[in-house]
Amino acid sequence: MELNTINDGTNRPQKTVLFAEDEEMVRSVFSLSLSRMGVTVLQAKDGVEAVEKLRLHSIDMAILDCRMPRLDGYGVFEEIQRLNLDVPVVMISGDDECTVLDRFDLVRPHGVLIKPVSLPTLRETVSALMNDREKAVASDSKTLADRKESIQI
């Protein structure tokens, strides 16, 4: 199952999350849980597939396993930065948070989840980051509208 989608019954555009994880069971269970939140989930089994999906689809968030074959989550994160995508990124790792964050320079992910990750923790993290992003976009839109008003006056 590559794509999961559920209509949440609202008029809001549906959010799309790229979920890159090499463990099939984890990928399937987490993707199903996110889809039940009304999120479209693009699944990738490794970093190379994740980068392919980044180039083909518009995403609102990425959840990346740090250790995957062919290209790890750190490499996918670098590609997100190189493509200048403004999306929240959450890294998932069996290592402690400090070890994960030590791999980053100036730009860091929006969050780190340590395995084993519970489904409630995953859902809370995604909801919080999506809500923060919607508030930031709304604030930017209001600021832009205020600027246009002040120019016209």
110: closest CA among 92, 90, 136?
Answer: 90
Confidence of residue 149 (pLDDT cuts 50, 70, 90): low
Range(s) of the domain holding residue 74? 3-152
Q: What distance in Å separates the CA atoms of residue 11 and residue 18, rounded to the nearest whole number?
A: 22
Residue 147 predicted with pLDDT over 90: no
The count of structural domains within the chain is 1
Contact 123, 37 (CB under 8 A): yes
- Average pLDDT over the chain reads 86
Q: What is the CATH number of the domain that holds 137?
A: 3.40.50.2300
Q: What distance in Å separates the CA atoms of residue 40 and residue 43, rounded to the nearest whole number?
A: 10
| pLDDT score of 134 | 79
For the chain, give the number of residues. 153
CB atoms within 10 A of CB 2: 11
CA-CA-CA-CA torsion for 32, 124, 58, 91, nearest 10 degrees?
-90
Q: What distance in Å separates the CA atoms of residue 89 and residue 27, rounded to the nearest whole number?
A: 16
Per DSSP bridges, beta strands 3-4 and 40-44 are: antiparallel
Residue 2 predicted with pLDDT over 80: no
| pLDDT score of 6 | 38
